[in-house]
Amino acid sequence: MSRARLIRAPALGEIPIRPMTEIDLIEVGEIERITGLSVWGEEAYRAEFGRENSIMFVTVFPSRETAAEMRVSGFIVARVAGDEVHINNIAVREQARGRGLGSALLSAALGAAKKAHARVAVLEVRAGNRAAHALYLRHGFVIVGRRRNYYKSPPEDAILMTAAL
Ligand SMILES: CC(C)(COP(=O)(O)OP(=O)(O)OC[C@H]1O[C@@H](n2cnc3c(N)ncnc32)[C@H](O)[C@@H]1OP(=O)(O)O)[C@@H](O)C(=O)NCCC(=O)NCCS
């Protein structure tokens, strides 16, 4: 159990979630790099802003180092296509994990997808990513398949998961 998980999680309603804006992109790019996600890069996120079927949320908190300065602590990017929403990226800064932020971001994205008439959520996750597996299982996802060597650097299988909305 990480140190962050010992901090009591605030109620979900207390976690501020808002749509991602261009101003957030530097921090989103930073989180992407330091959390080891497959890197999309700033331009790819910028392109998502132009799509009406994109769901892009951030959660913003004062940083622990400088209490006054608000920091993007996590983000989620998903895209609705027909009755399906694909969860593309979700990440929370390491020092902010275990406080319900990932859960709040995922709930917000799934809620927005449902409003946009999505009926099923789909995603791929690294086979060894236990924290993400647990998060998704908690939100009703089930494992439906495996893609061999789907990821590069380092190579790893992907687990495919879906959830009915
Ligand atoms: C996956 C990730 C987004 C979870 O964010 P988080 O804010 O720590 O998650 P939460 O605090 O909301 O936890 C929600 C649930 O997920 C599960 N979970 C999260 N982290 C876990 C861990 N380290 N070990 C076990 N379960 C964990 C638990 O079921 C938890 O619910 P609980 O606290 O009531 O038991 C975060 O670990 C992260 O950013 N990882 C790196 C990026 C990444 O791998 N993204 C997924 C790509 S597919």
DSSP 3-42: GGGGSPPPPGGGS-EEE--GGGHHHHHHHHHHHTPPP--H
Nearest-atom number in ligand 1 for the CA of 87 is 48
Please give the model's pTM, rounded to 2 decimal places.
0.90
The confidence score (pLDDT) of residue 63 equals 62
Q: Averaging pLDDT over each range in 6-20, 58-72, 113-127, which range is the top one?
A: 113-127
At 14-59, the pLDDT tens digits run: 788 999 999 999 999 999 999 878 788 888 999 998 888 999 999 9
Nearest-atom number in ligand 1 for the CA of 74 is 39
Using 50, 70 and 90 to split pLDDT, how confident is the model at 10?
Answer: very low
Helices and strands, number each (H, E), in the chain: 4, 7
Å from CA of 159 to ligand 1 middle: 16
Is residue 153 over pLDDT 90?
A: no
At 130-142, the pLDDT tens digits run: 999 999 999 999 9
At 65-104, the pLDDT tens digits run: 555 566 899 999 999 999 999 999 999 999 889 989 999 9
Q: Are 87 and 106 in contact (CB under 8 A)?
A: yes
The confidence score (pLDDT) of residue 128 equals 96
Å from CA of 63 to ligand 1 middle: 19
Nearest-atom number in ligand 1 for the CA of 104 is 12
Q: How deeply is 53 buried, as exposed, middle or buried, from its count of CB atoms within 10 A (0-12, 13-18, 19+)?
A: middle
For residues 59 and 9, the model is more confident at 59
Domain ranges of the chain: 12-119
Residues 6+ apart with CB under 8 A from 43: none
The confidence score (pLDDT) of residue 28 equals 94
The confidence score (pLDDT) of residue 68 equals 58
CATH classification (class only), 12-119: alpha beta
Å from CA of 141 to ligand 1 middle: 14
- d(CA 89, CA 86) in angstroms, rounded, equals 9
